[in-house]
Amino acid sequence: MNDHRRLGRELGIFDTDPLIGSGLPYWLPAGAAVRKAIEDYVHELERRSGYLHVNSPVLGKRELYERSGHWAHYADDMFPPMRVGGEDFVLRPSLCPHHALIYRSRGRSRRELPLRIAELGGMYRSELSGVLGGLTRVRAIQLNDGHVFCAPEQAAAEVSAALDLIEAAHVQLGISAARYRLSLRGDGAKFVDDPGMWERSEAVLRAVLKERGRDYDEERGEGAFYGPKIDIQITDPAGREATLSTVQVDYFQPERFDLRYAGGDRPVMVHRSVVGGIERLVAHLVEVHGGAFPAWMAPVQAVVLPVSDAELAAAEDVLRRCLAAGLRAELAPADRGSLGARIRAHRLVPYQLVVGAREAAGGGVSLRLRDGSQAGDVPVERLAAEARPVF
């Protein structure tokens, strides 16, 4: 079984250190490359869909989270306040309060809506040590988050558009067999006590799911504290299920922050995460692909293999061309072993570029694919084009 905790360390994706702390993994070079490829893909997918990208602080005053409702309903999952200069600051448990303040940073007109903003930002959860594990349950999360501020009559279309983005990303990432769940309010103080607000949000989500012909399950008690949500559930090779992507309709925070647009009307806030937390996503992809990532996200996309030392100079030139074309490439010279041994050592690399005497003389390469098939002399520029995600 592909356990990401074992594979992740073997492949140089991530590691941990007790001096940093439990639930706080760090990214090694291969993992940082995978993460950057995913971040760049999602950023471009969002940009093409009309999102404006922002950046906001990972800290906020306690007063901010009291206003948003997190302090009253979510404090058990937050880190304790830090006293600085006579004020209490908190590591943020969510990005949505910051985005609400970005929305209200100036007056908004009706024709600006929907206003779509997105951010890949850090958020922090005070998880108990007993539930932490690898990249799937961590205390510091890099969340692909986004919020759409829209008029009430636009909310259903924006929820559906968010699901389009999620489904497109899942295809590109190689994620299949996801289960849709409508997560609803449960009992107790965890949830905002406003039945009418919950009913309005739930009606929007149900209407979208019906229109899209999407089968889904329902689960009480799994909604956000401020409203219901559509959760897209994934299952790892061991059969464990987790939430990856999500869409929520929120009438609560626009009221708490007194968000308005010209004419005095209040927008609806649609929360959506296309790929969720990067840590959980990468853990899943490591297990699904077993380290043999699609070419566009592979840590090393191409390895250049001179047959002998005589072809080293030609191989170095090929490497320079690969890097200039945008490929993540490296050189495996002949002093690292036989050609067969070097090919086996790089079996997870999508493109293996062999440079023998004939290729060196002609300035080309002999392309060997990860599955062992031969593709002949292929220009590195074409490989670079093929190693990009599809939008």
Q: What's the angle, vertex CA 145, arms to CA 18 and CA 26, rounded to 5?
A: 20
In a domain, residue 295? The reply is no
In a domain, residue 213? The reply is yes
Nearest to 35 by CA among 234, 288, 277, 245: 277
CA distance 331 to 318: 9
**pLDDT tens across 20-71, in order?**
999 999 999 999 999 999 999 999 999 999 999 999 999 999 999 999 999 9
Output the domain CATH number for residue 358: 3.40.50.800
Q: What's the angle, vertex CA 148, arms to CA 147 and CA 151, rounded to 5?
A: 145
Residue 160 has pLDDT above 80, yes or no: yes
**pLDDT tens across 304-344, in order?**
999 999 999 999 999 999 999 999 999 999 999 999 999 99
The mean pLDDT value for 126-145 works out to 90
In a domain, residue 239? The reply is yes
**Average pLDDT along the chain:** 94
* Residues 135, 107 within the same domain: yes
Sign of the torsion angle spanned by Cα atoms 368, 373, 379, 382: negative
* Residues 282, 203 within the same domain: yes
Contacts of 201 (CB under 8 A, 6+ apart): 227, 228, 248, 249, 250, 251
* Residues 280, 360 within the same domain: no
**Would you state the pLDDT for residue 376?**
87
Residue 233 has pLDDT above 70, yes or no: yes
Cα-Cα-Cα-Cα dihedral of 284, 290, 295, 301, to 10°?
120
Q: How many domains does the chain have?
A: 2
Q: Which residue has the higher pLDDT, 242 or 269?
A: 269
In a domain, residue 328? The reply is yes
Residue 131 has pLDDT above 90, yes or no: no
> Coil, strand or helix: which one is 11?
coil
* Residues 233, 154 within the same domain: yes
* Residues 253, 374 within the same domain: no
Domain boundary among 228, 259, 289: 289
* Residues 327, 377 within the same domain: yes
In a domain, residue 344? The reply is yes
Specify the amino acid at residue 160. S
* Residues 122, 160 within the same domain: yes
* Residues 220, 84 within the same domain: yes
* Residues 308, 270 within the same domain: no
pTM of the model: 0.93
The mean pLDDT value for 84-88 works out to 95
**Would you state the pLDDT for residue 1?**
65
- Burial code (b: 16+ CB inside 10 Å, e: under 16) for 128-149 equals eeeebebbbbbbbbbbbbbbbb
Give 52-106 as a DSSP string: EE----SEEEHHHHHHHTHHHHHGGGSPPPEEETTEEEEE-S-SHHHHHHHHTTS
Q: Are 284 and 235 in contact (CB under 8 A)?
A: no
In a domain, residue 391? The reply is no
**Would you state the pLDDT for residue 128?**
86
Domain boundary among 231, 257, 289: 289
Domain boundary among 289, 319, 340: 289
Q: What's the angle, vertex CA 38, arms to CA 274 and CA 163, rounded to 5?
A: 15
Cα-Cα-Cα-Cα dihedral of 220, 224, 230, 231, to 10°?
-90
In a domain, residue 164? The reply is yes
CB 356: neighbour CB atoms within 10 A?
18
> Where is average pLDDT lowest: 102-116, 178-192, 202-216, 243-257?
178-192
* Residues 337, 276 within the same domain: no
Q: Are 231 and 218 in contact (CB under 8 A)?
A: no
**Would you state the pLDDT for residue 187?**
86
Q: Which residue has the higher pLDDT, 235 or 61?
A: 61
The mean pLDDT value for 360-377 works out to 91
Give 318-365 as a DSSP string: HHHHHHHHT--EEE--GGGS-HHHHHHHTTT-SEEEEE-HHHHHHT--
Q: Which band of pLDDT confidence, cut at 50, 70 and 90, is reported for residue 145?
A: very high
CB 172: neighbour CB atoms within 10 A?
19
In a domain, residue 294? The reply is no
Residue 243 has pLDDT above 70, yes or no: yes
Give 179-237 as a DSSP string: EEEEEE--SSTTS-S-HHHHHHHHHHHHHHHHHTT---EEEET-SBTTB-EEEEEEE-T
The mean pLDDT value for 176-201 works out to 90
Segments forming the whole domain that contains residue 366: 302-386
Specify the amino acid at residue 384. A
Integer-rounded Cα radius of gyration of the chain:
24
Output the domain CATH number for residue 66: 3.30.930.10
Q: Are 34 and 299 in contact (CB under 8 A)?
A: yes
* Residues 285, 316 within the same domain: no
The mean pLDDT value for 127-149 works out to 92
* Residues 201, 114 within the same domain: yes
